[in-house]
Structure 1
Amino acid sequence: MPDGSLNYTAPLPADEPQWNSKPAWKLPGWVEPIVVASILFVAMYMTRRRNFRILGKSTYQNGLLDSVDSTASSDSLLDYDSDGEGGYEDIFSTTKHVPKKRNCWGVIIPMPNTSRFKNNIHSRILQRFPFLIEMFYWIINYAFYRFTAIASQRLYAGTGIWNAAQDHGIAVLEAEEFGWLSFLFPIRELDVQRWFMNGHQDALTILNKAYALIHIPGTVGFICWYYYVAPSFKTFATARRTMTLTNFCAFMTFILYPCMPPRLLPHEYGFLDTVRHDDAQSVWMSGKYVNTLAAMPSMHFGYAFCIGLTLIYHSGIFRRTLEAGEAKKSTFWKIFYLGFGIAYPSFILTVIVATANHYFMDAMVATCFVFLSFACNKVFYVFIPLEDLLLYLIRAEKPVPTTGDRFHERGGRI
Structure 2
Amino acid sequence: MGEQTVTPREGRDQVVRPSVTAGADVAPPPRPRRLGRLRTPRRPRLWFEILLIAVSYWTYSLVRNAVPEQRTAALNNADWLWRMEHHLGMAFEESVNHAVNSVTWLIVGMNYYYATLHFVVTLGVLVWLFRSHPGRYAATRLVLFATTAVALLGYYLYPLAPPRLMTGGDFVDTVMVHQTWGSMASGDLKHMSNQYAAMPSMHIGWSVWCGLTIFALASLPWVRILGLLYPVATLVVIVATANHFWLDAVGGLLCLAFGFAVARLWYGVQPYALPRTVPGKT
Q: What TM-score results when the alignment is normalised by the length of structure 1?
A: 0.51
Contact 2:184 2:192 in 1 (8 A): no
- What is residue 30 of structure 1 aligned with on the other side? none
Q: Which runs of 5+ in 2 are unaligned?
A: 1-29, 37-42, 268-275
Secondary structure at 2:179 match in 1: coil
- What is residue 388 of structure 1 aligned with on the other side? none
Does 2:216 correspond to 1:216? no
CA distance in 2 between partners of 1:163 and 1:204 (Å):
29
- What is residue 176 of structure 1 aligned with on the other side? 85
Can you list the C-alpha shifts for 1:1-34, whole angstroms capped at 9, x where unaligned?
xxxxxxxxxxxxxxxxxxxxxxxxxxxxxxxxxx
- What is residue 147 of structure 1 aligned with on the other side? 62
Does 2:93 correspond to 1:193? no
Q: 2:49 aligns with which of 134, 139, 153?
A: 134
CA distance in 1 between partners of 2:106 and 2:122 (Å):
23
- What is residue 312 of structure 1 aligned with on the other side? 215
CA distance in 2 between partners of 1:204 and 1:363 (Å):
20
Secondary structure at 1:135 match in 2: helix
Does 2:77 correspond to 1:165? no
Q: Which runs of 5+ in 1 are unaligned?
A: 1-82, 88-100, 104-126, 316-328, 382-402, 406-414
Cα offset, 1:294, TM superposition? 0.9
Secondary structure at 1:292 match in 2: coil
Pick the structure with greater CA Rg.
Answer: 2
Cα offset, 1:191, TM superposition? 0.9
CA distance in 2 between partners of 1:307 and 1:220 (Å):
9
Secondary structure at 2:194 match in 1: coil
Higher helix share: 2
Does 2:135 correspond to 1:237? no
CA distance in 1 between partners of 2:97 and 2:66 (Å):
32
- What is residue 23 of structure 1 aligned with on the other side? none
Cα offset, 1:133, TM superposition? 1.5
CA distance in 2 between partners of 1:137 and 1:209 (Å):
27
What is the total number of aligned residue pairs between the two structures? 233
Can you list the C-alpha shifts for 1:258-298, whole angstroms capped at 9, x where unaligned?
111111112x4111110233333368663755222111011
- What is residue 371 of structure 1 aligned with on the other side? 257
Cα offset, 1:216, TM superposition? 1.5
Contact 1:243 1:306 in 2 (8 A): yes
Cα offset, 1:134, TM superposition? 1.6
CA distance in 2 between partners of 1:287 and 1:132 (Å):
32
Does 2:218 correspond to 1:336? no
Contact 2:101 2:240 in 1 (8 A): no
Contact 2:162 2:244 in 1 (8 A): yes
Does 2:119 correspond to 1:202? no
RMSD: 2.8
Q: 1:299 aligns with which of 202, 205, 218?
A: 202
Cα offset, 1:141, TM superposition? 2.4
Contact 1:243 1:373 in 2 (8 A): yes
Contact 1:141 1:247 in 2 (8 A): no
Letter in 2 for 1:246: T
Cα offset, 1:380, TM superposition? 7.1
CA distance in 2 between partners of 1:253 and 1:374 (Å):
18
Contact 1:209 1:275 in 2 (8 A): no
CA distance in 2 between partners of 1:347 and 1:173 (Å):
22
- What is residue 258 of structure 1 aligned with on the other side? 159
CA distance in 2 between partners of 1:296 and 1:283 (Å):
16
CA distance in 1 between partners of 2:76 and 2:118 (Å):
27
- What is residue 180 of structure 2 aligned with on the other side? 280
CA distance in 2 between partners of 1:192 and 1:256 (Å):
28
Contact 2:205 2:256 in 1 (8 A): yes
